[in-house]
Structure 1
Amino acid sequence: MQSNIMLGVPKSRLRLDPRTKILMTASVSIVLISGGVIGYDMIARIMLAILPAVLLISEGRLKSGFLYSVVFLTASFAESVLLMHTKGISSFVILICSGLITRFVPGLIAGYYLLSTTTVSEFNCAMKRMYLTDKIIIPLSVMFRFIPTIIEESQSINTAMMMRGIKRSRIFRSPVLYLEYKIVPLLMSVVKIGEELTAASLTKGLGSEIKRTNICKIGFHLADIIIASISLTGLLLYIIN
């Protein structure tokens, strides 16, 4: 069964405008990657780190929201507490692992929420209302479907490998063969899928000079105001710190 991200018709409970989701994703990525843990930076990090979990839970994705919360809190605890009581190699490993999680995972989760709850039509409509040119909209539209398609292709390759008795543990015993069985077919699929998605986008008239109509409805509501306010507040606290 295909996931909502592939069907392009996500069953979103909280109908946020795509522009709000983009603002939220950008704010989370910018502030969390900075790594500030003093003063207003800390407040901004806490606010924006919680936001993706709240949005996932509001969509009924309790498992994803809970897992993200546990991973982020564990990494934050290790970064702020365990790091002070360790030395040498242990301290270095904790610093690298916790730092990568606390700085990059929130942005990835926010991007996942954006992709999984927004259709291509909604995204294109939002970009048009932002008065962006087709030179920007068309590549973004292709990428919007490219990433989910590659994820499903990777899952299909894993399924085919399992049917042939090739286990993932083989990557440790014979990495060259795993490279041949998994990476090479995936790279070939990436090239083919990219060409097909580009052709499909142009076939649908994305490159036409005529103004396209859209049946999807987007707009700002109370939830958008709240999410946008939190995102902008986090960015402001990050800037003035």
Structure 2
Amino acid sequence: MRALFAKGAHESSVLRRLDARTKLGITALTAVLAVCTGGVVAQGVLFVVTLGYVLLLRRPALLACLYALMAVMLLAALGCTALLSQFMPALSGFSVKALVIPFLRGASMMNVVMALALTTRVEDLLSTLERLRLPYAVFLPAAVMLRFIPTFAADIRQVWETLRIRGWPMGPKMLTRHPLLSARLLLIPVLFRALKSSESLGIAAELKGLGTAERTVPASFRTLTSLDARILAGAVTTTLCVTLAEVFLHDLFMAGAVVMMP
């Protein structure tokens, strides 16, 4: 189970050669920029850069599924808002900022978190967080959440393949024509698999020495390479570009762009 994170990315992905400190720094910087900027151009620049970053995973099918899921969630939110607008007329209009900015923020964070989760081993992540002198209550939940992402993806793939072996024609046609049946077939097994995986993660954390005075897994100390330096330089350049776009182009695509709900 130690290599579960590393199996999430293609073997030749350059992200696997990045230090965990570099990927954590990029994730934290993206979170700050996503929260502190509110312009469409600034968020667009951040999204484009993080998209190029996550494409280094060389997992286009996985990314396509994730973006399709985000689009479905956005459409569901719009549908719920349209329903509420029938009873609350104040919710009948949406600006570009209210529609686009949350999607870009979520997509940018998803890009960097997936790159971190699928290319970083647990012991590297824990040793990096411990070296930052973070409280135990902070770095342990963060490590477990990131550890759960590839485990959950593997559970979904296993349930999907099991249903196909048992004769269910799982695919886009099945999901479109029988959404309720597909949801029942997928969600219940995935729920129980997620509960089992969470229990396994807890046991694995205890075996690794979390919560004790001394770690059972020795921390590995690595020096930053030239690849880390280039990625960090790109992160600094991106921060400068996003900041300039936020200062000088904040109101671009904002004025008068209102979407009326039916």
TM-score bracket for the superposition, by shorter chain length: 0.5 to 0.7
Instruction: Give the letter for the 1:46 counterpart.
Output: V
Contact 2:22 2:232 in 1 (8 A): yes
Structure 2 CA distance for aligned equivalents of residues 21 and 180 of structure 1? 37
Structure 1 CA distance for aligned equivalents of residues 55 and 180 of structure 2? 38
**What is the match of residue 177 of structure 1?**
181
Quote how far apart the aligned CAs of 1:139 are.
2.1
Report the more deviating stretch, 132-141 or 183-192: 132-141
**What is the match of residue 206 of structure 2?**
202
Structure 2 CA distance for aligned equivalents of residues 193 and 49 of structure 1? 33
Quote how far apart the aligned CAs of 1:19 are.
1.9
**What is the match of residue 20 of structure 2?**
18
Tell me the number of residue pairs that the alignment of Structure 1 and Structure 2 aligns.
Answer: 211
**What is the match of residue 29 of structure 2?**
27
Contact 1:52 1:113 in 2 (8 A): no
Instruction: Give the letter for the 1:31 counterpart.
Output: L
Residue segments in structure 1 that go unaligned for 5+ positions in a row: 72-91
Q: Classify 1:135/1:98 alpha carbon distance in 2 versus 1 (closer, same or farther; 3 Å).
A: closer
**What is the match of residue 76 of structure 1?**
none
Report the more deviating stretch, 162-171 or 16-25: 162-171
Contact 1:8 1:120 in 2 (8 A): no
Q: Classify 1:125/1:16 alpha carbon distance in 2 versus 1 (closer, same or farther; 3 Å).
A: same
SS in 2 for 1:214: coil
**What is the match of residue 46 of structure 1?**
45
Report the more deviating stretch, 198-207 or 162-171: 162-171
**Which of 51, 57, 64 pairs up with 2:60?**
64
Q: State how 1:224-239 maps to structure 2 within 5 Å.
A: 224-235=228-239, 238=243
Structure 2 CA distance for aligned equivalents of residues 172 and 9 of structure 1? 29
Structure 2 CA distance for aligned equivalents of residues 55 and 35 of structure 1? 22
Report the more deviating stretch, 104-113 or 146-155: 104-113
Identical counterparts, % of pairs: 24
TM-score calculated relative to the size of structure 2: 0.63
**What is the match of residue 5 of structure 2?**
5
Structure 2 CA distance for aligned equivalents of residues 64 and 170 of structure 1? 23
Q: Classify 1:6/1:18 alpha carbon distance in 2 versus 1 (closer, same or farther; 3 Å).
A: closer
Contact 1:154 1:186 in 2 (8 A): yes
Instruction: Give the letter for the 1:145 counterpart.
Output: R
Q: Classify 1:101/1:138 alpha carbon distance in 2 versus 1 (closer, same or farther; 3 Å).
A: closer
Q: Classify 1:28/1:135 alpha carbon distance in 2 versus 1 (closer, same or farther; 3 Å).
A: closer
**Which of 109, 112, 129 pairs up with 2:111?**
109
RMSD, aligned α-carbons = 3.9
